[in-house]
Structure 1
């Protein structure tokens, strides 16, 4: 046997051993993640959800079933046309499913793609609106809302109008308004649409820290694969079809980012007949 052949065999053995160790490591992480997840209570679950529009012969999606555990961040990833917004509306209670049911164990608050801040009201008035609608007097509502401004990156912006702050700041204000509804589950539809790439990454990191700090549960509807991987503990894919269907969840920490990315790409572009 030549020196080259011996060296090649040795390298192949090392590669095989390394690959085996990576697989074992991934499996160990996956098992640990599942064990930790199972110990947390389920705060949102769906059973056999479907939604069909009038004059349409087939539903937009069918048999949508998933669950979210307390303190977990779950992303529902899908391409344009998969039915993400329709599913968001059903989960938010803005639309009714044709079949199935939704079980909630905690209050759910939702945020649309557009921030919907009222342009004639100052930031402090916009974000404290949920408190005022609950009957809290304006002065007390402002005081309570202002306590959260530093955590939401809004310090010093209380008296500004929406057109006087940046797109990223508007998203933060909109999220604070949702948070002040008293909801422990946040349902967000493409929360960072319309902001530049650098600001988007900053907001994603900030949101993940906020969820952990405030012990919130997050359900994220998005088309952005990188955003889903960066924010979520688990990812479901709403696969385009007639009707669209939801995949099994993928644990983000169960394998390398490259492996997760490949799995998600395969699911995203696999059309369901």
Structure 2
């Protein structure tokens, strides 16, 4: 029996009851150390799901469990990496990365030590005293991911973190993210609109449909680990990619 990092048990949520539910009696779980991507049209509930997991929204009914526990407030119990890096422009890279530790009350000197121990691993050594304006898009996202890792949670939510990057940088960051995930074995829930990105990164893909979200299609990615970008060109993966893209197109057109 595998250990569950995240569980939704009959979760229902709506922003306004008069407009109907976004999620309705939704059940699913993600096991510890798993990489799961969510794809789906805009408005299908992806961002709402993340807001519920982080505790920015509260479910009307049901339970959300993180590492088997239900928390009165989930804020701080998961790491979150948004689409935009949200680095504070007036703080150095060192200060930006140390922010989650500071918010937990860690002394500044100790927080700096923890950050510095990871700078080389994240490709940021020598840049700690620079400001965000002096970094490339890829490096900013590395800082953002470092910040989410320093949250201390084994559950990380990544909301389209590479969508604003150019194609080459995006591929490089995908490979880098996989290396970090394989090394740390944290549980990652990843939102993307890119089916190929989902196939390359994930163990499973959740395909969200129209609201209310009661259940959804799940696809197990038929690739072993470790994997490389060349694996995406395998005939069975290309076939699966086109199949998923067609299904998503049909759902949008329906």
Residue 227 of structure 2 corresponds to residue 265 of structure 1: no
Kept in 2, the 8 Å contact 1:237–1:246? The answer is: no
**2: CA distance, partners of 1:96 / 1:181:** 21
Counterpart of 1:182 in 2: which secondary structure? coil
**2: CA distance, partners of 1:167 / 1:256:** 33
Residue 146 of structure 2 corresponds to residue 176 of structure 1: yes
**1: CA distance, partners of 2:214 / 2:237:** 24
Counterpart of 2:179 in structure 1 is 209
Counterpart of 2:99 in structure 1 is 129
**Residue 143 of structure 1, aligned match among 92, 100, 113:** 113
* Residues 49/223 of structure 1: CA separation in 2 closer, same or farther (3 Å cut): farther
* Residues 262/244 of structure 1: CA separation in 2 closer, same or farther (3 Å cut): farther
Kept in 1, the 8 Å contact 2:37–2:191? The answer is: yes
Q: Deviations over 1:77-106 (max 9, x none)?
A: 112221211111111111112332211117
Q: Deviations over 1:197-227 (max 9, x none)?
A: 1111110111011001012111111222111
Kept in 1, the 8 Å contact 2:44–2:211? The answer is: no
For residue 149 of structure 1, report the CA deviation from its aligned partner.
1.0
For residue 53 of structure 1, report the CA deviation from its aligned partner.
1.9
For residue 48 of structure 1, report the CA deviation from its aligned partner.
2.3
* Residues 157/56 of structure 1: CA separation in 2 closer, same or farther (3 Å cut): farther
Q: Deviations over 1:78-136 (max 9, x none)?
A: 12221211111111111112332211117421122221111110000000112222232
**Residue 252 of structure 1, aligned match among 221, 224, 238:** 221
* Residues 221/56 of structure 1: CA separation in 2 closer, same or farther (3 Å cut): farther
Hey, which bits of structure 1, 4+ residues long, moved more than 4 A?
none
For residue 266 of structure 1, report the CA deviation from its aligned partner.
4.4
For residue 43 of structure 1, report the CA deviation from its aligned partner.
1.3
1:67-78 residue pairs with structure 2 within 5 A?
67-78=29-40
Residue 10 of structure 2 corresponds to residue 40 of structure 1: no
TM-score norm. by structure 1 comes to: 0.79
144-153 or 41-50: which moved more?
A: 41-50
Counterpart of 2:51 in structure 1 is 89
**Residue 155 of structure 1, aligned match among 122, 125, 140:** 125
Greater Cα radius of gyration, structure 1 or 2: 1
* Residues 144/210 of structure 1: CA separation in 2 closer, same or farther (3 Å cut): same
Number of residue pairs matched by the alignment: 234
Kept in 2, the 8 Å contact 1:238–1:245? The answer is: no
As a proportion of its length, which structure holds more helix?
Answer: 1
For residue 187 of structure 1, report the CA deviation from its aligned partner.
0.8
User: Structure 1 stretches of 5 or more lacking a match?
Assistant: 1-38
**1: CA distance, partners of 2:112 / 2:17:** 47
TM-score norm. by structure 2 comes to: 0.85
